[in-house]
């Protein structure tokens, strides 16, 4: 991927890739065993991959860097929402990206789904493309208990935001850099998925969903959230409304 | 009973204050005046214990100690909410700091990226 434009960029931060490159942001926390394969799976399709290491203690940052990712390291653990926000801020301000892709570190997403979502976003008629595992009758591979919980979250989101979404907690998304620059995630924990959709609705961004597959591996299931975490997410959301942070 | 109205009013006010006040010099002044007032009232209550009982009777509470307990609960909740707010604010600043540092110290991939041999 040689860039043919002369890169006489004034800032050292400017990337050497041509314009119109999508940038992938991966929040990670102690994912040393899988992050290399996740980054390797994305490398053929994306030139800039940003891993945000949320205070890992297992050397995830070194593994990710060796696999070809740019690594941003939180000195301490701040939560997935904060990691996403850090990565998105970096992508918008320090790379020549026009699309920001968010991708989970645990290997449950398919890089080809991300590619299809980027192609969808390139048509230019939407600001946000969301991955959905339930679109077009999908989601049969989703464990039943998880499915019930996710449906509940979908109902809640539709009620509070009016967005006609089918999957609210999918880590695979594409945002135009204009939208990404406006995004302000304050919920540092897992409530950020709902917070993001709240902002999509509040900013009246044009949104569409693309069906994606989720690989429920032994690893991702072990890493995944306990269903009881839904209570925490609800609580975070209410606090968010009660105490808007600036 | 008057005390019921007073306590309920206190809780409603608390909820409103907790939801919308932002730290400002004016707010700090109000808080300081409130604290001074509370201290003065406490001192008076120590010197004239009967006054507390009389005040309690006026608002429909049987004993002075009960009134003191009620007031204490309200004040404790105010303090707790204030501390919680500050903690949230602090966490927000803290996250901002950590985030800025992470971005400032971004490290590029260690091997050269694909197709970029000689590009370093």
Q: What is the ipTM of this complex?
A: 0.73
Instruction: List pLDDT tens digits, range A9-43.
Output: 444 444 444 445 899 999 999 999 999 999 999 99
Q: How far is B106 from chain A, CA to nearest CA, in Å?
A: 5
Residue B70, domain member (yes or no) = yes
Q: Is residue A165 in some structural domain?
A: yes
Label each residue of chain A as H, E or C.
Answer: CCCCCCCCCCCCCCCCCCCCEEEEEEEECCCCCCHHHHHHHHCCCCCEEEEEEECCCCCHHHHHHHCCCEEEEECCCCCHHHHHHHHHHHHHHHCCEEEEEECCCCCCCCHHHHHHHHHHHHCCCCCEEEEECCHHHCCCCCCHHHHHHHHHHHHHHHHHHCCCCCCCCCCCEEEEHHHHHHCCCCCCCCCHHHHHHHHHHHCCCCEEEEECCCCCCHHHHHHCCCCCHHHHHHHHHHHHHHCCCC
Range A168-174 average pLDDT: 90
- Please report whether residue B13 resides in a domain: yes
User: Does residue B120 lie within any of the structural domains?
Assistant: no
Q: Please give the residue range of the domain that contains residue A52.
A: 21-242
Does A5 reside within a domain? no
Could you tell me if residue B99 is inside a domain?
A: yes
Distance from B73 to chain A by nearest Cα, in Å?
Answer: 22
Cβ-based interface (< 8 Å): residues of B facing A? 18-19, 85, 88-89, 91-92, 95, 98-99, 101-103, 105-111, 113-116, 119
Tell whether A185 is within 8 A of chain B (Cβ).
Answer: no
| Phi (first) and psi of residue A51, to 5 degrees | -100, 130
Is B111 inside a domain boundary?
Answer: no
> What are φ and ψ of residue A48, in 5° steps?
-115, 115
Q: Tell me which residue in B92, B103, B116 faces A86 most closely, judged by beta carbons.
A: B103
Residues of chain B short of pLDDT 70, as ranges, are 18-23, 110-120
Number of domains in chain A: 1
- Do the Cβ atoms of A72 and B109 come within 8 Å? no
| pLDDT of A139 | 65
Share of chain A above pLDDT 90, in %: 51
The strands making up A21-28's β-sheet, listed across from edge to edge, are A70-74, A48-54, A21-28, A97-102, A173-176, A128-132, A207-211
Q: Is residue B55 part of a domain?
A: yes
Chain A residues with CB inside 8 Å of B18's CB? 242-243
φ, ψ at A223 (rounded to 5°): -80, -25
Binning pLDDT at 50, 70 and 90, where does residue A207 land? very high
- How many domains would you assign to chain B? 1
* pLDDT single digits (tens) A210-220: 999 888 777 76
The beta-carbon neighbor of A71 closest among B95, B107, B119 is: B107
Query: Coil, strand or helix: which one is B28?
Result: helix
CB-CB under 8 Å, B116 with A2: yes
The range of the structural domain enclosing residue B47 comes to 2-18+26-104
Measured CA to CA, the distance from residue B55 to residue B53 in angstroms comes to 5
Question: Does residue A4 belong to any structural domain of this protein?
Answer: no
Phi then psi for residue A132, to 5 deg, are -130, 130
Res. A243: pLDDT tops 70: no
Out of A72, A76, A245, the one facing B103 most closely (by C-beta) is A72
pLDDT at B112: 53
Average pLDDT over residues A142-154: 78
Model confidence at A180, pLDDT cuts 50, 70, 90, reads very high
Q: Report chain A residues whose CB lies below 8 A from the CB of B95.
A: 78, 82, 188
Asked if residue B117 is part of any domain, the answer here is no
Q: Which residues in chain A are contacts of B99 at CB distance < 8 A?
A: 74, 78, 82, 85-86, 89
**Within a domain: A63:** yes
Smallest Cα distance from A85 to chain B, Å: 8
> Does residue A152 lie within any of the structural domains?
yes
Between A53-62, A76-85, A232-241, the lowest mean confidence (pLDDT) is in A232-241
CATH of the domain at A31: 3.90.550.10
């Amino acid at each position: 991927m040689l860039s043919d434009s002369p890169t006489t960029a004034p800032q050292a931060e400017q990337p050497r890739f041509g314009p119109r490159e999508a940038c992938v942001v991966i929040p990670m926390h102690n994912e040393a065993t899988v992050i290399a394969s996740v980054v390797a799976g994305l490398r053929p399709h994306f030139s800039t991959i940003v891993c945000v290491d949320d205070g890992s203690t297992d050397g995830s940052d070194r593994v990710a860097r060796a696999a070809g990712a740019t690594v941003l390291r939180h000195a301490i653990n701040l939560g997935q929402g904060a990691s996403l926000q850090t990565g998105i801020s970096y992508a918008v301000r320090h790379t020549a990206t026009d699309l920001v892709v968010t991708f989970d570190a645990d290997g449950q997403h398919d890089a080809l789904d991300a590619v299809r979502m980027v192609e969808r976003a390139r048509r230019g008629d939407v600001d946000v493309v969301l991955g959905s595992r339930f679109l077009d009758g999908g989601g049969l591979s989703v464990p039943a208990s998880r499915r019930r919980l996710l449906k509940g979250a979908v109902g809640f989101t539709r009620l509070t935001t009016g967005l006609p979404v089918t999957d609210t907690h999918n880590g695979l998304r594409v945002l135009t850099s204009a939208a990404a620059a406006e995004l302000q995630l304050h919920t540092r924990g897992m409530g950020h998925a709902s917070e993001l959709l709240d902002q999509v609705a509040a900013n009246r961004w044009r949104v569409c969903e693309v069906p994606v597959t989720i690989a429920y591996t032994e690893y991702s299931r072990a890493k995944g959230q306990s269903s009881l975490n839904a209570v925490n997410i609800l609580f975070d959301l209410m606090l968010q409304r009660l105490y808007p942070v600036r | 009973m008057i005390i019921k109205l007073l306590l309920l009013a206190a809780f409603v006010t608390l909820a409103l204050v907790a939801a919308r006040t932002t730290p400002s010099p004016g707010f700090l002044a109000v808080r300081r005046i409130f604290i001074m007032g509370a201290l003065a009232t406490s001192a008076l209550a120590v010197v004239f214990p009967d006054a507390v009982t009389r005040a309690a009777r006026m608002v429909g509470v049987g004993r002075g100690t009960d009134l003191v307990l009620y007031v204490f609960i309200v004040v404790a909740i105010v303090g707790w909410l204030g501390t919680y707010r500050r903690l949230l604010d602090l966490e927000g600043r803290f996250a901002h700091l950590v985030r800025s540092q992470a971005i400032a110290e971004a490290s590029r991939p260690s091997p050269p990226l694909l197709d970029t041999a000689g590009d370093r």
